[in-house]
Structure 1
Amino acid sequence: MKQRIVFIGDSITWWGMSESDSIGTGYVRLLHDYLKVTYPNRDMDIINKGISGNRITDLAERWDSDVISHNPDIVSISIGINDVWRQVDSPEIEQVLPNRFEEVLEYLLINTKKKTNASIILMEPTVISEDIQGKGNIMLKPYIEIIHELAKKHHAVNVPTHQAFLSFLKYKKEFPLTIDGVHMNTSGNMLMAKTWIQATKELLG
């Protein structure tokens, strides 16, 4: 059974990719290895299309070449951190505010359904700072709500990665999940992968 899964997103998805490593060393690597050993009867083709710094508008520009052209069975999307953080660190550029984020993401979901038979997985953006009440995490809230709404509307699987991080950080603040508040250490990647696996059990069968 051939099954092609495309992971697309920003640096959190891209993490560790190089000319000699097309999967990387982040959560996609953990999921790649998990899926390969869990489903040895399936011919799984796992593709990582993460690019550092991407926002939803960047995904839209490369969607046909990086997603549709592969005719995937499953598309896993992790986006939103840069859409929020650019409002803080680069206020002079054109911003992706919640209404624009929703508009572009919904277009991508509709386009994917029209052009492929892929199931879609929407991962919540994780955290911007390990301070639950930090500015970045407060700013993420409307983007996460949009992901919930669109997942329900378009029958996508929602992976509650943001909630998983908040729940963990309530109890284990002395055990970091990131190297800088955004990019994952090995524990953060493990939590992302674990949450993805739990959310996709029914889809993967």
Structure 2
Amino acid sequence: MYLKEDDTLLFIGDSITDAGRDRADATSLGNGYVHAIAQSLRDRANNGPGGIPGPSPRVINKGLNGNRVYDLESRWATDVTELRPTVLTVKIGINDTWRRYDRQLPSPVAEFEACLDRLLADAARTLAARLVVITPFLLPVTPEQESWFDDLLPRRDAVLRAAAGNGAQVVRADLVLTRAARDREAARLAPDGVHPSPLGHRLIADAWLAGAGAL
């Protein structure tokens, strides 16, 4: 997928996307992978032909801490449709798994998949936006987290099916971070197993740029 200078890139998801953004500032991108992507795109634009700085795509961060897929649906009209993105990236799923284990709040995979499919189909239909989906991931740092894969792996597969069914490009954050963890401690990439470190965010950003961010 190629990006254009006048594209509007919108990222929506949970705390991994939110990454501490200032919600009172519509231009705030947080300090995670969305910020890293935007910075890389600006750097590319500023090093264009002849060394003349050029425009770069507009980037919007609509991540919210704690969100599950149903939370995205409740705010989809205002946080996605009304903003008219031309490239929409969705990163969701880990809280749908996590809440099952820490709050006994289930998110059946079939219902999760149906909800995500509705959201992607709506964006494709009403916005004609190019779609990108980032897979949920987990880098266990406690023995208890190992059991989460019983829920997360079927959910990841549901994400892949919803993406394929709606023509979305997939960024396999789960594979990127799992491979990176072969050479270093998982906690260096995600101290609590879920929320990426600066290095973890950089790896996600690089994977997005490699797969979806060509100018």
Unaligned runs of 5+ in 2: 47-53
Q: How does 1:1-205 map to 2 (within 5 A)?
A: 1-18=5-22, 19=24, 22-40=28-46, 41-91=54-104, 93=105, 95-127=106-138, 129-130=140-141, 134-173=146-185, 176-201=188-213, 204-205=214-215
Deviations 1:27-70, CA, capped at 9 Å, x for gaps: 11101101122235444211000000000000000001000101
**Matched residue of 1:46: which SS?**
strand
Deviations 1:12-34, CA, capped at 9 Å, x for gaps: 10012124571100111101101
Change (3 A) 1:44 1:108: same
Q: Which amino acid aligns with 1:38?
A: R
Larger-Rg structure? 2
Normalising by the residue count of structure 2, what TM-score does the alignment of the two structures yield?
A: 0.86
Q: Distance in 2 between matches of 1:128 and 1:97?
A: 22
Detail structure 1 runs of 4+ shifted over 4 Å in the superposition: 130-133
Q: Which amino acid aligns with 1:158?
A: V
Q: Distance in 2 between matches of 1:55 and 1:174?
A: 24
Contact 1:130 1:169 in 2 (8 A): no
Contact 1:148 1:158 in 2 (8 A): yes
Change (3 A) 1:43 1:31: closer
Q: Which amino acid aligns with 2:94?
A: I
Contact 1:129 1:137 in 2 (8 A): no
Q: Which range moved further: 44-53 or 142-151? A: 142-151
Q: Which amino acid aligns with 1:98?
A: V
**Matched residue of 1:170: which SS?**
coil
The Cα RMSD (Å) is: 2.0
Normalising by the residue count of structure 1, what TM-score does the alignment of the two structures yield?
A: 0.90
Q: Which amino acid aligns with 1:135?
A: S
Q: Which amino acid aligns with 2:39?
A: D
Change (3 A) 1:143 1:167: same
Query: Percent of aligned positions with the same letter in both sequences?
Result: 29
**Matched residue of 2:7: which SS?**
strand
Alignment size in residue pairs: 201
Q: Which range moved further: 155-164 or 30-39? A: 30-39
Contact 1:9 1:49 in 2 (8 A): yes
Q: Distance in 2 between matches of 1:113 and 1:14?
A: 23
